[in-house]
């Protein structure tokens, strides 16, 4: 398969943005998995990160801010054969979409969620996001963000996600490998990707991350939930990269009475006479 299967488009990102590496790694991961564009559905809400689906040749749904997960879940339920990937920002995923994030984990629909975590709202020019560090000064938070940052990987493990990873745009080979494993994981997989925003986050820069990140080594056991929670809490002088937690879990499709029989919305033929008679009951 050619490297250009998923095509290259002009972007509206700032030169030097971490989003470029995520886009490139995503295309590489999909190509290495042998996916064709028609098999892939890219979903996002609103944001700089949320533009990613527009820069890749596949099926695309860009919806409302914070509402990417419901659209992704609906897509997978309608057509189980699609590889459904949510590719969006930290604000979209954990702020406006925070409620969906938690309850989507509980449902465990087989979708993959890549979060471009630049710890800022970039599209709207630099307000604090849920992962912004306490004290981060922005044009809105002039005295520094007062809120405790949310720890998305710790939250995901605690809420019961079966695949939780952390990656960094500066480690491309590892990012591709994690992306491939997340896409292949049967169930909801979340990868929080540390992504420098060169325009609006002058604290968490490429150098800031590069100084702190280290790879989990082969002695690390990702099936140990308590150890994973402890690792997930490291976000100071040291930040671990890799698959923090992984366990096999029954998916929504394996549990749902109808879906587990293989019946899906895409194959349903709607008989208008039945719909009409049902509607009549309410008129």
| Region of 42-50, 99-107, 234-242, 251-259 interacting with ligand TPP (CB under 6 A) | 42-50
112: closest CA among 196, 24, 28, 180?
180
Taking CB under 6 A as the criterion, the residue among 22, 29, 40, 49 binding ligand TPP is: 49
> Which of the choices ligand TPP, Mg ion, none does residue 101 contact, using the CB cut-off of 5 to 8 A by kind?
none
Per-residue binding string, ligand TPP, 202-221, x by CB under 6 A, is --------------------
Question: Is residue 18 a contact residue for ligand TPP (CB under 6 A)?
Answer: no
CA angle at residue 114 from 50 to 254, to 5 degrees? 120
| Binding track, positions 85-124, relative to ligand TPP; x by CB under 6 A | ----xxxx---x-------------------x-x-xxxxx
DSSP reduced 3-state for 83? strand
- Residues with Cβ within 8 Å of 55's Cβ and at least 6 positions away in sequence, in order, are 9, 11, 23
The item of Mg ion, ligand TPP, none sharing an interface with residue 123, based on CB under 5 to 8 Å by kind, is: ligand TPP
Give residues 162-191 in contact with ligand TPP (rule: CB under 6 A). none
Cβ(104)–Cβ(84) below 8 Å: no
**CA 150, 153, 159 angle in degrees (round to 5)?**
90
124 touches, from ligand TPP, Mg ion, none (C-beta below 5 to 8 Å by class)? ligand TPP
- Residue 24, H or E segment: helix 19-32
Cβ pair 169, 22 in contact under 8 A: yes
How many residues are recorded in the chain? Answer: 283
Q: Residues 83-102 vs Mg ion: string with x where CB under 5 A?
A: ------xxx-----------
Nearer to ligand TPP (CB atom), residue 56 or residue 243 = 56
**Could you tell me if 238 and 159 are in contact, meaning their C-beta atoms sit under 8 angstroms apart?**
no
Binding site for ligand TPP (CB under 6 A): 46-49, 64-65, 89-92, 96, 116, 118, 120-124, 129
């Amino acid at each position: 398969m050619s490297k250009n299967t998923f095509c290259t488009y002009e972007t509206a990102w700032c030169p030097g943005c971490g989003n470029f590496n995520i886009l490139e790694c995503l295309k590489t991961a999909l190509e290495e998995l042998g996916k064709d564009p028609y098999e892939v559905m890219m979903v996002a809400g609103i944001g700089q990160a949320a533009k990613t689906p527009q820069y890749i040749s596949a099926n695309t749904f860009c919806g409302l801010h914070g509402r990417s997960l419901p659209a992704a879940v609906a897509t997978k339920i309608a057509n189980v054969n699609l590889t459904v990937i949510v590719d969006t920002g930290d604000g979209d995923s954990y702020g406006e979409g925070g409620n969906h994030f938690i309850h989507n984990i509980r449902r465990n629909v087989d979708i993959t969620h890549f979060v471009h975590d630049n710890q800022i709202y970039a599209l709207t020019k630099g307000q604090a996001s849920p992962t912004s560090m306490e004290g981060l000064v922005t044009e809105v938070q002039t005295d520094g963000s007062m809120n405790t940052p949310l720890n998305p990987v710790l939250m995901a493990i605690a809420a019961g996600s079966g695949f939780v990873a952390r990656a960094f745009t500066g480690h491309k080979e590892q990012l591709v490998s994690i992306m491939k494993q997340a896409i292949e994981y049967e169930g909801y997989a979340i990868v929080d990707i540390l992504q420098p925003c060169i325009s609006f986050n002058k604290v968490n820069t490429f150098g800031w991350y590069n100084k702190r990140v280290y790879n989990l080594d082969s002695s690390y056991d990702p099936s140990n939930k308590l150890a994973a929670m402890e690792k997930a809490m490291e976000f100071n002088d040291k930040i671990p990269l890799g698959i923090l937690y992984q366990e096999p879990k029954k998916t929504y499709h394996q549990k749902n009475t109808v879906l587990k029989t293989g019946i899906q919305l895409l194959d349903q033929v709607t008989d208008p006479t039945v719909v009409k008679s049902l509607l009549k009951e309410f008129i």
